[in-house]
A and B are shown apart, each in its own frame.
Chain A
């Protein structure tokens, strides 16, 4: 058990809809990362937060947004969903030190857009 909790584990929705994925980081970790895993693209970095502030941004679409709350949990919002957004979305956490040390990954949220 990594200590990182992601909910829900599975999400099935329709095109055009909006969903929210939730992540609770490991106790004491200040940094949260979001990754998208798909068969063709592999593991793509989306965005990172550190203590409530955005620290780094990757290949995140404008239809997607995220935030980290004062209690350090994070939410990833995906809107105007398309079939191609179907993927496994991982959250990871770390202490946030630089250079980056060990990331702890949650079990992921499997999103299916029908």
Chain B
């Protein structure tokens, strides 16, 4: 079935370091891909998305490119801040079959940024 695999955490970085969180997916078709972020004590919020191959989603300095050939959607940021500390979830959404309309999430990667 459709699934998302993202790198295990936790990830600890110093402020201004470069961030990469890997995400790969398995899907029978061409899903939409998303990154969501969960700050402590809150629900998930959409960070960015891409709906087709080679699309790049970007928001708040974060970027991810939809790579069909490698079935990947890695999240990157050039210079992280303490306020980026959160749990990051990669997700895919299908528009057909039993999963249509809902999002399938990876297990999440906890990021801690130290000053």
Q: Which residues of A contact B (CB under 8 A)?
A: 2, 4, 31, 33, 35, 41-43, 45, 48, 50, 55-58, 90, 92, 96, 98-103, 105-108
Q: Is the CB of B100 within 8 A of A55?
A: yes
Of the residues A55, A96, A103, contact of B46 by C-beta under 8 Å: A103
Q: Is the CB of A99 within 8 A of B95?
A: yes
Q: Which residue in chain A gives the minimum CB-CB distance to B99?
A: A56
Of the residues B42, B101, B108, contact of A96 by C-beta under 8 Å: B101
| Chain B CB within 10 A, most for which of A31, A58, A101, A108 | A101
Q: Is the CB of B42 within 8 A of A107?
A: yes
In the bound complex, CA of A106 to CA of B105 (Å) = 16
Q: Give the interface size class of chain B.
A: 20 to 34
Of the residues A42, A56, A90, contact of B102 by C-beta under 8 Å: A56
Of the residues B46, B89, B100, contact of A98 by C-beta under 8 Å: B100
Q: Is the CB of A42 within 8 A of B94?
A: no
A43 to chain B, nearest CB (A): 4
- Chain B residues positioned under 8 Å from A56 (CB to CB): 98-102
Q: What 1/0 mask marks residues of chain B from 25 to 50 whose CB sits below 8 Å from any chain A CB?
A: 00000011000100001111110010
In the bound complex, CA of A107 to CA of B107 (Å) = 18
- Chain A residues positioned under 8 Å from B102 (CB to CB): 33, 45, 48, 55-56, 58, 100
Q: Is the CB of B101 within 8 A of A105?
A: no
In the bound complex, CA of A101 to CA of B42 (Å) = 20
In the bound complex, CA of A101 to CA of B108 (Å) = 20
Q: Which residue in chain A gives the minimum CB-CB distance to B106?
A: A42
Q: Is the CB of A4 within 8 A of B95?
A: no
Does B103 sit at the interface, judged by CB under 8 A?
yes
A35 to chain B, nearest CB (A): 8
In the bound complex, CA of A44 to CA of B107 (Å) = 9
In the bound complex, CA of A50 to CA of B100 (Å) = 11
- Chain B residues positioned under 8 Å from A55 (CB to CB): 100-102
Q: Is the CB of A42 within 8 A of B101?
A: no
12 pairs of residues in contact across A and B, judged by CB atoms under 8 Å: A42-B107, A43-B108, A50-B101, A56-B98, A57-B98, A99-B31, A99-B51, A100-B100, A101-B32, A103-B36, A107-B42, A108-B43
